[in-house]
Amino acid sequence: MEITIPLFSGISLRIAGDPTTEGVYPTGRLQKGLLLMDNDHEVAEEGVGFGVPLLMRGRQTIFPGCIELASLYRGSIQEVTALFRINLEEKLVRPGFESINSDRFYTIKNFLAELIRRFPPLRGLLTTLSNVVRWMSGWETTYEEAEFSRSIKVIYSIDRSKGKISVEVDSTGLLRDGITEVIVMNEQGASIFDHYRDSSGTSLLGEEIGCWDKITADWASFVSETHRLAFTLRQVEGATLFRGRELVNSRLAWAGFGYSFPPTIERLSFEVKIDRLP
């Protein structure tokens, strides 16, 4: 099932069920959320779209692999209900061989990834080291079925004339599943959205944005000067808002925001505002 939602000025949103091909990026295997379109041109690149839940079990990240969709209209509002199946984990594989399945290997890998996110001074060195090791070893990223699987319902209420997406995430019962953190991603393409700005007056371009930094401003936006587009999110009580952008060859090309919150919060609501710049 595929749903396309026209907004205004040539902007639209698209969401489709069950990815069937790997696509250009390794994340083509992941289930996407609402992808932004500009005059029928998709501007998400590697980004997973708006309103996509991920689950953390310690340092292990579980990604969505499929979805069930339903849509209805409530006056001028189009409501899309998405039931995400969170059931995939990232693996490294050498073409022609089975993926690496060492728990110790992934414990180290996830620890280094956490260092890159949390300690900006180490990012350049560790990212370069990671790219060199991948190249020398011939490793590529893939996504495979995890031993853990859980469904999460997300309801998108889209005001088409105003470009507003109200997102409601139902995270009931995750605490008993051993989940330590819930993250809801809101991403589009990194080469397209390369300008960050927020209500504090901060303005960052390209690599200045960082890959995972906490936001304290009331609102924050990613801007595409070439497409004259912007998307904006605000702070939400009980959650921490992060920004990030990564552009690495044909492997990473995402820019956007993530809300992080504990599994004790059983429902998170927020809004994404889309604007066409003058």
Instruction: Classify 26 in phi/psi space as left (phi over 0), alpha (psi -120 to 50) or beta.
Output: alpha
12-69 residue pLDDT tens: 999 998 765 556 788 888 999 999 999 999 999 999 999 999 999 988 899 999 999 9
Within-domain flag for 36: yes
Task: Specify the pLDDT at position 175.
Answer: 85
Within-domain flag for 136: no
Strand, coil or helix: what is 136?
A: helix
Within-domain flag for 99: no
Within-domain flag for 15: yes
Within-domain flag for 132: no
Residue whose token pair is 């696509």: 23
User: 158 lies in which domain range?
Assistant: 2-90+151-276
Among the residues of the chain, which ranges form H helices?
A: 103-118, 120-137
Task: Specify the pLDDT at position 250.
Answer: 75
Say how many domains are in the chain: 1
pTM of the prediction? 0.88
222-278 residue pLDDT tens: 999 999 999 999 999 999 999 999 998 778 899 999 999 999 999 999 999 999 999
Within-domain flag for 62: yes
CATH number at residue 50: 2.70.98
Within-domain flag for 141: no
Amino acid sitting at position 200: S
CA-CA distance, 35 to 220, in Å (whole number)? 19
